[in-house]
Amino acid sequence: MANKKGKTSHWLILIILALAQFMVVLDISIVNVMLPTVQHTFHMSETSLQWIITAYTITFGGFLLFGGRAADLFGRRRVFLSGVATFAIVSLLDGLSRSGGMLIVLRACQGLTAAFMSPAALSIVLVNYKEGHGRNVALAVWGAVASGGAAIGVLLGGVFTQYLGWRWNFFINVPVGILVLIIASRIVPKHENEEKRTTVDLFGAVSVTAAVMLLVYGLTKAPSYGWTAGPTLGLLAGSVLLFAIFIYNESRAKHPLIPLRVFKLRNLVAANIIQICLAAGMYATFFFATLFFQEILRYSPVKTGIAFLAVPFAITATAANAPKLIQRIGYKKILMAAPLLSAGGLFWLGHVPVTGGYFAHIMPGMIIMGLGLGFTFVSVLVAATSGIAGHLSGLASGLINTSQQVGGSLGLAILTGVAATVTVRYLKRFPKPTGLDIAKASVHADHIGFYIASTFSILAVLLAIFVVKQVKTKPVKTVKQLQPFKARNKVYDSTGQY
């Protein structure tokens, strides 16, 4: 007979883990709306301003694999609670920043702490939900939080920036972090390390992080240096060299950060590349749209946030129904079709006129994009984690989170670089450009960015068609077959039954 208290605890654990992930995702997008205010406060250049976002996403993406393996080796609960605590502390310091440089450095530290918290939380979900519909529902919640949190962050960022001050975009993490710590320390089951050894590949973590940072920095500087200039090519070549060193180290290390054999799992590889493509388009879209709302349409920070609400609503609508659809037709078919919706929404946004209205020209594209993202993100999570052994769950969690964050960083760097180049070329037509000419140049650059972002989604469809393989999981028929889920001193399965 089901125990009501056990079932409640079961869902409360999922909610508290999702809340922690919500903080992580929120802190990527919540800063977008505050950027103009921070730029004015600290007198920062536009190039430096982008690093308030990029510093967080790069250290987060670079160290996620390290954080994921640390969860496998040192205990998921221990790593998760440590990550939440340090994330809250650094968030407080972010809000107390006294210069743009200080804020950028602290944002990098914040991304590092998030890199331990996020994969530990997802790996707790993976090991406690048996493959099948139950896990798909849990991953649907996770996917909705991960993708919808970015859009909700824009709204919250607008409210805090306009009414409380930009520093509250960081201060809010402190009470939320304390709440998560108190509840999680009481109800999240203890987990011992999966393996006897506790050696981590620090050199691998540092080399891959440095490689990613050089790559993004090179792409960011390319518009000002020139895409074929010596400094740009030098930065990109340095990144390639570091990636080569990382791969060589992983092939020789006794305890590698990423055992190269995991790349023989075609679904894992394909799902992570699809995640990179989707994140590259999504984060760049939020960046361009935020600037369009505030600089072209002259929206206030709060109005800008409200304008983004169409995206999380659309994502939630499809993510909630994704598990049932996956159960009926499988994740491969969804991945073959859903990204086309996202591509269609981005293509629509690529035609928004300078004087475009929100309801007629912008909201339809956002809704279409959100519908595609809701189905796709859940299906990607299911495809990436199917068939993963428990002792590699942290690594799998780190990989899929890494793909999302690195994809977002690379997409932002590439598309902002392209947009800057397009804007300069457009304005060369006008000896003395007027305010309207500058606005047209900016919108034209946004259009090009949306077009390129739509091609990322089309690439995701091609990967789904030619690489992803549908793997059928056997339905769970007995309680004995279920993965046990421990809460305090009791054990109950993924249906909440003792």
CATH number at residue 79: 1.20.1250.20
Domain annotation covers residue 364: yes
Which of 133-142, 156-165, 172-181, 467-476 is the most confident on average?
Answer: 172-181
The most confident of the ranges 72-76, 221-225, 315-319, 461-465 is: 461-465
- Band the pLDDT of 175: cuts 50, 70, 90: very high
275 and 375 together in one domain: yes
Structure tokens at 96: 């107390």
User: Do 314 and 373 share a domain, yes or no?
Assistant: yes
Amino acid at the residue 18: A
Q: 1 pLDDT band (50/70/90 cuts)?
A: very low
Matching residue, tokens 């407080």: 92
pLDDT band at 347 (very low <50, low <70, confident <90, very high): very high
Distance CA 136, CA 328 (A): 12
For residue 337, being part of any structural domain is answered with yes
Considering the domain architecture, whether residues 151 and 209 belong to the same structural domain is answered as no
Specify the 3-state DSSP secondary structure of 432: coil
Alpha carbon distance 319, 371 (integer Å): 8
DSSP 490: E
258-279 mean pLDDT? 87
Domain boundary among 244, 272, 302: 244
Query: Is residue 233 located within the same domain as residue 192?
Result: no
Averaged pLDDT score across all residues of the chain: 82
The residue with greater pLDDT, 339 or 187, is 339
Whether residue 379 sits in one domain with residue 342:
yes
pTM above 0.75, yes or no: yes
Domain extent at residue 227? 201-244
pLDDT of residue 65: 78
The CB density around residue 300, as the number of other CB atoms within 10 Å, is 14
The answer to whether residue 101 is domain-embedded is yes
Which tokens is 94 given? 């972010």
**Share in percent of the chain as helix, strand, coil (round to 5):** 80, 0, 20
Confidence check: pLDDT of 491 > 50:
no
CA distance 27 to 370: 20
Structure tokens at 235: 């930065």
